[in-house]
Structure 1
Amino acid sequence: MSTPLLEVENLAKHYPVKRGLVMAKTVGMVRAVDGVSFSLDRGETLALVGESGCGKSTTARLVLRLIEPSAGTVRFEGTDITAMSGQPLRRLRRRMQIVFQDPFASLNPRMTVGDILEEPLIVHEIGDRMARRARVNQLLGLVGLASYHAQRYPHEFSGGQRQRIGIARALAVEPALVVCDEPVSALDVSIQAQVVNLLKDLQARLGLSYLFIAHDLAVVKHMADRVAVMYLGKIVEVAPKDALFANPRHPYTRTLLLAIPRPDPHRRGAKQLPGGDMPSPMNPPPGCRFHTRCPFATDICKSEDPPLRAIESGHMTACHHAETLPAAVAAEGVHAASPAAALRLALYAERRGRITATAG
């Protein structure tokens, strides 16, 4: 059996909370990420989903060593990268790149597109000037832009075009892993499907692996091979996408699926969504972290933290009652089959549901 491209074990990031101006004292820790483990195979897309504040983006940055972990290990191509520094870490950057969420803030407005795409080649000392310019033109064509766009500045492009430039920059140094941190959430619905289809096409052509951070389950349904669900700094369920959407085994995953807007906003779901907000990561509840909002919680949920365990082949969940939960209601609006048209319909239905609900 081949070694996974990426292996993450017990990864954690705790931020100290200090009080006082002169002699600040640590009064607590924000557990942004608290013991996350997963793997990613070559050519695979693993989606990391969950509500805002659950630790998705922090996990992505820990994997890339953009921020330093408090604990845990990250192995890339079989090598532990958590202890790397200097030139070895610099060389590793070529193999791991990121596409940021905001295509307006992630591009330097004072640089032309050509300079933006050439910069990583200069940093990693790849090719001479002529070779770099040729590579820039190649990258622009790869993401559906023209070579003359290299002379323009970011403000001259639309949001979708800017994100294409961000994708081209990530591909400039030929990485094996691309972390996509909500790459379509800042784009218009009509453009999201184009960018998602571009990412899938590039994956097929270049053999890329994606760690895809998202909260939009319609996009995840069409993009991912497997899905990992995060809640309050922990992964609570991991499964192939079809198994997760058809039969979610954690109550929080069911909450996310029930929250998907329906094409008919007047139609009620089979169950009401659990109330309350996510607890503070500075003071997470004992036992299962979801028990304060879970309709199936019992005494054991309040006292014992359930481990992430396998309940079926490839399907893992962190729930004491995974085998005894009632049958889940299938999520509507995300099971359509064809890639491009179905994704546009799903996104349009979601957008329409939001607009109608707001108007009501």
Structure 2
Amino acid sequence: MSRLLEVNGLTKRFVAKANWYGRPIRHVSAVDDISFTLDAGETLGLVGESGCGKSTTGRLVLRLLDPSAGSIRYDGRDITGIEGSALRDLRREMQLVFQDPYASLNPRMTIGDILTEPLMLHGLVPPAKRKERVAELLQMVGLAPFHARRYPHEFSGGQRQRVGIARALAVEPNLIVADEAVSALDVSVQAQVLNLLKDLQAKLGIALIFIAHDLAVVRHIADRIAVMYLGRIVEVAPTRQLFATPRHPYTRALLSAIPVPQPRAARQREMLTGDVPSPIDPPPGCRFHTRCPFAIDRCRQETPAMQSTGDGQEVACHRWTELPAAAPLPATTDSAGAARLARLQARFVQSTEVPPLSR
């Protein structure tokens, strides 16, 4: 695979307090010196608790926010400081699927108009063929051509998210950032949308940054997972390897929080204690040391660097070689069976579409 995205030392600081003259005197570091890569056609899962900087990272990559420091290279070119027409051209290659499928759609526009708008802005399809392209996009996401005449309020949450995906696909991007794209949906609908994203990615070869706080969801779709805590990446690993041998104590705690039906397995969980520190005044050293059961004095004083474990994983922890083995996850946490069931449900839903409303 060819390298599509390379992020080095990315940082984003927001003004938390200013003086009487409007000059900033205190900042909050939403993202602090993170680095990662993404290959063409690959899915990178970005996970962590709420407020850890996942969504800010996605918006920085898409250049919806200007970074405070660091660099972003896309397809071999530096896009960190591009502006104007160059930035507009970049929008076609990088798209976003929003968390709220209703708030991201204009309630005064029909679905057809919503999908036609990006085609017009980028001049991709002649006016005579736009209706045909809209019908094609709707069919790609499991909807019918007649849905183009309806408005967002006439759809369910899962259908609206399919429209959001179709809008992102309209400009034929190389990279899509899915920002908590299934968190507002029911569990069965989540599985359908995840299967849809996987199928579309396999068909179109799109790279995907999938942002979520639920590791069980990310496990089903991601090739690699990057774990974030308080603005920093603490571990990166291939998905199966991360679930089999988590190295960072925070990753182990996140895995332990996945619901399981066996009470005995639940009793073996490594539960987190305490609250997440304030990003305005983060603790010195390792930012996780205030909640880590394995912390020592070095953790409180020295910030751990990201280091390779030698088997494809990277971890930012002083004591990763000394930690006891993590308890294995029960086999029932595997979502393969649920994914197959969701595919059957999706086919049933598509074969029993509601007829168009008369107007």
Partner of 2:236: 238
Tell me, yes or no, if structure 1 residue 281 matches structure 2 residue 261.
no
1:267 Cα deviation (Å)?
A: 5.7
With the length of structure 2 as denominator, give the TM-score of the two structures: 0.92
2:8 counterpart SS class: strand
Match of 1:62 among 60, 63, 76: 60
Inter-CA distance 265–123: structure 2 relative to 1 (3 Å threshold): farther
User: Map of 1:43-54 to 2, 5 A cutoff?
Assistant: 43-54=41-52
Partner of 1:71: 69
Give per-residue Cα distances to partners, 1:286-327, cap 9 Å, x unaligned.
Answer: 000000000000111011100111012320000001111100
Q: Which amino acid aligns with 2:7?
A: V
Q: Distance in 1 between matches of 2:113 and 2:36?
A: 36
Further displaced range: 285-294 or 262-271:
262-271
Give per-residue Cα distances to partners, 1:66-123, cap 9 Å, x unaligned.
Answer: 1111111111101110111111111111110010010010000010000000111111
1:25 Cα deviation (Å)?
A: 4.7
Q: Distance in 1 between matches of 2:327 and 2:26?
A: 40
1:133 Cα deviation (Å)?
A: 1.5
| Identical residues among aligned pairs (%) | 61
With the length of structure 1 as denominator, give the TM-score of the two structures: 0.91
Q: Distance in 1 between matches of 2:175 and 2:342?
A: 24
Give per-residue Cα distances to partners, 1:258-311, cap 9 Å, x unaligned.
Answer: 111222468633244121011011111000000000000011101110011101
Tell me, yes or no, if structure 1 residue 140 matches structure 2 residue 138.
yes
Q: Distance in 1 between matches of 2:36 and 2:110?
A: 38
1:47 Cα deviation (Å)?
A: 0.1
User: Map of 1:27-38 to 2, 5 A cutoff?
Assistant: 27-38=25-36
Match of 1:26 among 24, 27, 34: 24
Q: Distance in 1 between matches of 2:341 and 2:311?
A: 28
1:132 Cα deviation (Å)?
A: 1.7
Partner of 2:225: 227
Q: Which amino acid aligns with 2:136?
A: Q
Gap runs ≥5 in structure 2 = 344-359
1:268 counterpart SS class: helix
1:277 counterpart SS class: coil
Partner of 2:305: 307
Q: Distance in 1 between matches of 2:225 and 2:89?
A: 29
2:31 counterpart SS class: strand
User: Map of 1:128-167 to 2, 5 A cutoff?
Assistant: 128-167=126-165
Partner of 2:353: none
On the 8 A contact 2:18/2:26 being kept in 1, the answer is: no
Give per-residue Cα distances to partners, 1:158-215, cap 9 Å, x unaligned.
Answer: 0000000000000000001010111110001111110000000000110111000011
1:336 Cα deviation (Å)?
A: 4.8
1:62 Cα deviation (Å)?
A: 0.2
Q: Distance in 2 between matches of 1:343 and 1:275?
A: 35
On the 8 A contact 1:221/1:334 being kept in 2, the answer is: no
Q: Distance in 2 between matches of 1:254 and 1:343?
A: 28
Q: Which amino acid aligns with 2:287?
A: R
Partner of 2:103: 105
Inter-CA distance 190–126: structure 2 relative to 1 (3 Å threshold): same
User: Map of 1:166-315 to 2, 5 A cutoff?
Assistant: 166-264=164-262, 268-315=266-313
Q: Which amino acid aligns with 1:17?
A: A
Inter-CA distance 339–46: structure 2 relative to 1 (3 Å threshold): farther
Further displaced range: 90-99 or 327-336:
327-336
Inter-CA distance 343–146: structure 2 relative to 1 (3 Å threshold): closer
On the 8 A contact 1:222/1:339 being kept in 2, the answer is: no
Gap runs ≥5 in structure 1 = 345-360
On the 8 A contact 2:256/2:271 being kept in 1, the answer is: yes
On the 8 A contact 1:217/1:334 being kept in 2, the answer is: no
